[in-house]
Amino acid sequence: MRSFEGNDGHVILQLQPGDKALESITETIDDHEIDTGVVVSGIGSLNKLHVHYVVPYEEFPEFAEDNDDVDEYLHEEGAWEVGSLQGAIADGEPHLHITAFEAESGRMIAGHLEPDSVVHALMEIVIRPIEGPELARRPEEMGIPMLQSR
């Protein structure tokens, strides 16, 4: 893992084979003391892709009553080409979405990037710190964490 900081504050992160994507991004956020920001670009490849996505509420009618988890988790292996990685950083914590394609199976997956997603060949990620707002995510309606001022 390597990171480079521009004069304008942007941080460019280069991940290498075997690096864990989300964990490396979180470490870079800590190292560069980024409290609030955005991941504006992320491309590369993964050989382990771990994501979660939200399933339709109608499949979980009890959600509104019991606030049950409605996330589906996928743990995939293969040669996943990352077409997009982006998201927001609040209180130093990233919330990232990823879109990836696996040519052998012809599958495309989109979801929330989860820990233990492992870089295959490389990843390049650009993070833009935002000065000013101090944000956090706190549960609101139906227990969903939403951005709020701290």
pLDDT averaged over every residue in the chain: 92
| Full domain range(s) for residue 118 | 2-58+67-132
* Spatial distance between the Cα atoms of 136 and 148, rounded to a whole number of angstroms: 5
Q: Is 107 within a domain?
A: yes
Strand 71-90 versus strand 11-15 pairing type: unpaired
Note the pLDDT tens digit of each residue in 101-120: 999 999 999 999 999 999 99
How many domains, the chain? 1
C-alpha distances in Å from residue 116, one per residue of 18, 36, 70, 74, 121: 10, 24, 21, 12, 15
Instruction: Residue 127: give its domain's CATH number.
Output: 3.30.1330.80
Note the pLDDT tens digit of each residue in 65-109: 554 457 889 999 999 999 999 999 999 999 999 999 999 999 999
- Which residues partner with 107 through β-bridges? 102
Give the model's confidence band at 55: pLDDT under 50 very low, under 70 low, under 90 confident, else very high.
confident
